[in-house]
Structure 1
Amino acid sequence: MTTSLTAAYRAALPAETDSLAELMRTADPATPIPACPGWSLANLMTHVGRGHRWAAAMITDRATERIDFRAVPDGAMPKEPDAAAQWLSDSARLVLDAVDRTGNDVEIWTPFGPPRPAEWWIRRRLHEATVHRADALLALGREVTLSPELAADAISEWLGLLETALVGSPVPVLPDGATLHLHATDPGLDAAGEWTVRGAGTGIEWDHGHAKGSVALRGTAVALLLVILRRIPTDDPGLEIYGDTAVFDRWLDTTPF
């Protein structure tokens, strides 16, 4: 059964990918992407489009282990701008089609812990697209246009991935007893716009809600998303930071890129 939340992800995945694809028609594909050192805009687009196709292939094959990223069918982006944009747009729809053919609840291999229902990949690929579209916009000197709701969900998804990815990490991401609090200032987000992160061994636990943290960051959901993913600096004018800034510096140093 498709929930309202899943329906929102299904609508947002092609919309966000289409917005990213449109940049291929208007921007120089050789534009460097500072957030992804060594990448050009064309490299970024290829990464997203091939990644969508990779997910679609694993869903279609009901994969129980990782499929080679380089073996994805039609994984090369065309060089002509309009064809490249269409290739990228089509890739998002391949993910949705693969889930529909396979079934929402069929378990598929993921890079984060145990196999997950096929529909899990829709949200994962959505936020891969939202963050890399932000990378492209920042590289082009443009404003990152992302709804507060999507940005807040991307933060929640990232923290959820970290809960799994940090298990067994050699270095704790938060000092003993330290907490990180994120507070989105966008109206209407309510509890969905606040996050409290606590250390759990070398990993983390987190929940929504207001709490005093060892360090706290306030800003729009977009700004919070970009700073926790190292896309903007902590002294960005759109952010306020309170408390022990060394705690957040450690967070940035020890969470995966």
Structure 2
Amino acid sequence: MRIDEHLAMLRRDGPMVADAAQAAGLDAMVPPCPGWRVRDVLLHLGGVHRWAAGHVREGRPKPFPTAEEKTFFAEVDDEALIEWYRSGHQTLVDLLATADPALTCWSFLPAPSSLAFWTRRQAHETAVHRADVEIATGTTPTWSPEFAVDGVEELLRAFFARRPERIIGDPPTTIALSCTDVDAAWTIRLDGEGLHVADGAEPATLAVRGRATDLYLLLWNRTGLDGFAFEGDPTALGAWRGAAAVTWS
């Protein structure tokens, strides 16, 4: 996907997070994130947007030190929280929309450019947390198959590829993933050395077929098992869910 396409998704999904938060209520539990309430998602995502914007605005060659990073994650009263979140999102969108394509700053995943990295990463960061808040309202979000496939690619080949040794499978296990609404498939292997990803659906411990949106949510541990077709050993999915945990550090 192009930078402008990622930016369009970020611009669209950001307000949808706020709208869902208003519908759910800030005190509503967020099922995909045990222990979190909607306010926690807004505080986290609003801080991430400000943190990302800081790198873009300053063209920082290195990440913010821990003490400075913490300043982006403020404590905000409930009365002001949704507007605080909206403001941070809009600032990020405006910065990315007007940034020099030749922008050079720190990034942590492979990308054609710094601008491409930050736009793609924030589009998917926001999309996944949109899922969290919408699920708290009792609904499940959807995206175009193209965006969902891009999200799976970013997760498997970039986000977790940074440190594949963290996604250990003992004993080794393989999961083949096939989209039913677009021509895309992957086979992931978890073994003692970490995560390995191949194109196509190869013979595997477990084969999973579903819509691209649903596979995107499944790999981010944001959905249950309804709506998928399975063939093989279902315990393989438990190995993924246990290993592919994401936390902010």
Query: Do both proteins adopt the same fold according to a TM-score greater than 0.5, normalized to the shorter chain?
Result: yes
Matched, 1:172 2:165: no
**Consecutive unaligned residues in structure 1, runs of 5 or more:** none
- The answer to whether the 8 A contact 2:20-2:137 is kept is no
Stretch of structure 1 that moved more, 6-15 or 217-226: 217-226
- For the aligned residue pairs, the C-alpha RMSD in angstroms reads 2.8
Q: 2:180 aligns with which of 159, 180, 185?
A: 185
TM-score for both structures, normalised by structure 2: 0.83
Matched to 1:163, the amino acid is A
Q: How does 1:107-256 map to 2 (within 5 A)?
A: 107-112=104-109, 117-160=114-157, 161-166=159-164, 168-169=165-166, 172-173=168-169, 175-176=171-172, 178-186=173-181, 189-191=182-184, 194-199=185-190, 202-233=193-224, 236-256=225-245
Call closer, same or farther: CA 1:253–1:199 in 2, change over 3 Å: closer
| CA distance in 2 between partners of 1:164 and 1:120 (Å) | 14
Percent identity between the two aligned chains: 27
Count of matched residue positions in the alignment of Structure 1 and Structure 2: 242
Q: How does 1:40-119 map to 2 (within 5 A)?
A: 40-67=37-64, 68-72=68-72, 75=74, 77=76, 79-80=78-79, 84-99=81-96, 102-112=99-109, 117-119=114-116
How far 1:90 moved relative to its partner? 3.4
Matched to 2:226, the amino acid is P
Match of 1:42, SS state, is helix
How far 1:152 moved relative to its partner? 2.2
Match of 1:212, SS state, is coil
RCO comparison, higher one (Cα < 8 Å, 6+): 2
